[in-house]
Amino acid sequence: MSLLTVGSVAFDAIETPFGKTDKIIGGAGTYISISSSFFTKPVNVVAVVGDDFPEEYIKTLESQGINTDGLQVKEGEKTFFWAGKYHNDMNSRDTLVTELNVLEHFDPIVPANYQDAQYVMLGNLSPQVQSTVIERLENRPKLVVMDTMNFWMDIAWDDLMKTISMVDVLSINDEEARQLSKEYSLRKAAKKIMEMGPKYLIIKKGEHGALLFHEDKVFSAPALPLEEVFDPTGAGDTFAGGFIGYLAKTDDISFDNMKKAVIYGSAMASFCVEKFGTDRLLEITEADLEARVKEFEELTVF
Amino acid sequence: MSLLTVGSVAFDAIETPFGKTDKIIGGAGTYISISSSFFTKPVNVVAVVGDDFPEEYIKTLESQGINTDGLQVKEGEKTFFWAGKYHNDMNSRDTLVTELNVLEHFDPIVPANYQDAQYVMLGNLSPQVQSTVIERLENRPKLVVMDTMNFWMDIAWDDLMKTISMVDVLSINDEEARQLSKEYSLRKAAKKIMEMGPKYLIIKKGEHGALLFHEDKVFSAPALPLEEVFDPTGAGDTFAGGFIGYLAKTDDISFDNMKKAVIYGSAMASFCVEKFGTDRLLEITEADLEARVKEFEELTVF
């Protein structure tokens, strides 16, 4: 089923205890689109870059089956840039640079050939941009999934509440779930957040896996205990991309299938962290993915 | 199969955001014994208390099928006492009082009728006391499980290394696994720790569940997402008691059965935190436990 993704397509400069990169391709929209394109094609991306964004990077996206008709290239402007440095434990990082550039006045365009979107993944962006995309779709998609972060809770609460009320699935991390609900217990937090609109809630817990909530049901997905996390950048977005990609491919939004989608998303994220940036995502095969999903099964079956 | 447990039988005074207790029965040996007695009887306990320890508390233990022949009562001495206060998030606490009392010179006695022990659970205690118990058993038990904590890593490293080298299963939390191995990745930490002696390692992650390692295999058990944690005291020991109790009952130490034992331990721990101290453990039924284990299944099956 046709999939639309929205999110930043950007430059990242990453430093981890294992090394550092120059400006490489990054951004939530990039990770989501590459990850979901593993399951379904085309992935119709809505995003914006500056004229400094290399043609080669756009070709990389297109070679994955990503349709860039909705990728605006702004002449005379610069691409969003983020630089960060991870601490030794890889669980925390310092942001060194954030240059909004083209994202500051991002007015998303939804091309006519994207209008049949049945599955929509709103990657982390200003909630106002996220809701604009929904409003610019003529028909309500079958499933709208939204990712966001604490930053928008701090500076754009009302916009955030509006967008959250419009989506089916919200994906945030445990700290953010606590901030959003003002509840420490994740079970209580989930109840409160689902009263804000979304019928489903995913709480991402990094190395501790993820929880999927719906009505009074819960599913707990483990994370694969890895020997080495090389670069965690994009893991959450890769998870989201795998989640929506699997749902779009199978076109089944039952709770049972969403559980599987969470596992496929987790498997994709477990690859993402094995190399810098999107490198590992661009080389895995279907056999790699199925073997990884099997590892998740072995990890949890008792 | 016959089970021997060692650990503190003590007084606890607990304060949580929900209320506070006077001195109530507590201690690792108490939680382990009550939890394991749910699976197999008798539980042969090795411990020490002072003459201030109420006869009524000993009767409570005995009514659960706990054999107190190895519980020394020291005339003129006082029982170990711990007082603590939990913070609002229930994940951290301040120790207000620690009075070692009878534990300071604890010389464990293993009565003759305990000598057939096939399963041994060494609750958190000085590693020197733990190894003494193993040495005082005429025959090597089928399975020795050891719990310990960071405190002993700080002050009794050599004794700890000796005891760890003597056991089959080590049970510690994630922070402690990192401290013990000097590795941040839990997978790497597990490898290093299993080189110290234990063939199996359990890493407890509190609200994030537990990991069981053996050779190159891993099992990830979730924690039940609870609406309310009323009092976390003793949850780790209750887990350990359920783990060894299930193994002693089924007398099967295969990796597959250990996975089940981890789930039964987790289920027992999820009850423990629902009321103060041992209150909830003393009222649950077999049907309660089976229903809870079923919840764990539903939580993880995909």
- B55-109 pLDDT, tens digit per residue, is 999 999 999 999 999 999 999 999 999 999 999 878 789 999 999 999 999 999 9
Contact A220 B262 (CB under 8 A): no
In terms of CA atoms, which chain A residue is nearest residue B218? A299
Residue B47 has pLDDT above 90, yes or no: yes
Identity (one letter) of the amino acid at A37? S
pLDDT of residue B90: 81
Residues of chain A with a CB closer than 8 angstroms to some CB in chain B:
88-90, 184-188, 190, 205, 207-209, 211, 217-223, 225-229, 256, 259-260, 262-263, 297-302
| pLDDT, tens only, A10-28 | 999 999 988 999 999 999 9
Q: How far away is chain B from the Cα of A257, in angstroms, using its nearest Cα?
A: 8
pLDDT of residue A88: 82
Residue spans of beta strands (DSSP E) within B125-276: 143-147, 169-173, 200-204, 210-214, 217-221
Among A219, A228, A299, the residue with its CB nearest the CB of B220 is A299
In terms of Cβ atoms closer than 10 Å to its own Cβ (0-12, 13-18, 19+), residue B203 is buried
Q: Where residue B142 falls among pLDDT bands split at 50, 70, 90?
A: very high
Contact A188 B227 (CB under 8 A): yes
Q: Could you tell me the two tokens for B136?
A: 């005082």
Residue A61 has pLDDT above 90, yes or no: yes
Query: Would you give the DSSP letter of residue A222?
Result: P
Q: Where is average pLDDT lowest: A83-92, A145-154, A192-201? A: A83-92
Q: Could you tell me the two tokens for B60?
A: 């409570």
Among B190, B227, B299, the residue with its CB nearest the CB of A219 is B299
The overall average pLDDT reported for chain B is: 97
Q: What is the pTM of this model?
A: 0.94
Contact A201, A212 (CB under 8 A): yes
Among B187, B220, B227, the residue with its CB nearest the CB of A187 is B227
ipTM confidence: 0.92
H helix or E strand, kind and range, residue B98:
strand B93-99
What CA–CA distance (Å, rounded) separates A80 from A100? 5
Angle between helices B286-300 and B255-272 (to 10 degrees): 110
Among B220, B221, B225, the residue with its CB nearest the CB of A218 is B225
Contact A227 B300 (CB under 8 A): no
| pLDDT, tens only, B222-279 | 999 999 899 999 999 999 999 999 999 999 999 999 999 999 999 999 999 999 999 9
Q: DSSP letters along B25-86, please? A: EE-HHHHHHHHHHTTSS-EEEEEEEETTS-HHHHHHHHHTTEEEEEEEEETT----EEEEEE
What CA–CA distance (Å, rounded) separates A223 from A221? 7
Contacts of B223 in chain A (CB under 8 A): 220
Among A209, A229, A259, the residue with its CB nearest the CB of B302 is A259
What CA–CA distance (Å, rounded) separates A123 from A117? 15
Q: How far away is chain A from the Cα of B127, in angstroms, using its nearest Cα?
A: 29
Structural domains in chain B plus CATH codes:
3-300 (3.40.1190.20)
| pLDDT, tens only, A70-81 | 999 999 999 999
What CA–CA distance (Å, rounded) separates B160 from B164? 6
Contacts of A218 in chain B (CB under 8 A): 225, 299
What CA–CA distance (Å, rounded) separates A199 from A218? 12
Contacts of B225 in chain A (CB under 8 A): 185-187, 190, 211, 218, 220
- Residue B118 Cα to chain centre, angstroms: 17
What CA–CA distance (Å, rounded) separates A8 from A123? 8
Strand-pairing partners, residue A171, are A147, A202
Residue B42 has pLDDT above 90, yes or no: yes
Task: State the first-to-last Cα distance of chain A, in angstroms, to the nearest integer.
Answer: 35
Q: Where residue A42 falls among pLDDT bands split at 50, 70, 90?
A: very high
| pLDDT, tens only, A246-275 | 999 999 999 999 999 999 999 999 999 999
- Phi–psi pair at A56, nearest 5 degrees: -60, -40
Contacts of B222 in chain A (CB under 8 A): 209, 220, 222, 300
Contact A260 B88 (CB under 8 A): no
pLDDT of residue A135: 98
What CA–CA distance (Å, rounded) separates A235 from B271? 34
Contacts of A221 in chain B (CB under 8 A): 302
Strand-pairing partners, residue B82, are B12, B98
Percent of chain B predicted with pLDDT > 70: 100
pLDDT of residue B91: 78
Contact A220 B299 (CB under 8 A): yes
Q: Where residue A90 falls among pLDDT bands split at 50, 70, 90?
A: confident
Q: How far away is chain A from the Cα of B256, in angstroms, using its nearest Cα?
A: 7
What CA–CA distance (Å, rounded) separates B33 from A66? 59
In terms of CA atoms, which chain B residue is nearest residue A208? B208
Top residue of A173, A183, A220, A226 to mutate, by most chain B CBs within 10 Å, is: A220
Contacts of B260 in chain A (CB under 8 A): 302
Task: State the first-to-last Cα distance of chain B, in angstroms, to the nearest integer.
Answer: 34
In terms of CA atoms, which chain B residue is nearest residue A91? B184
Size of interface A-B (CB pairs under 8 A): 86
What CA–CA distance (Å, rounded) separates A16 from B121? 41
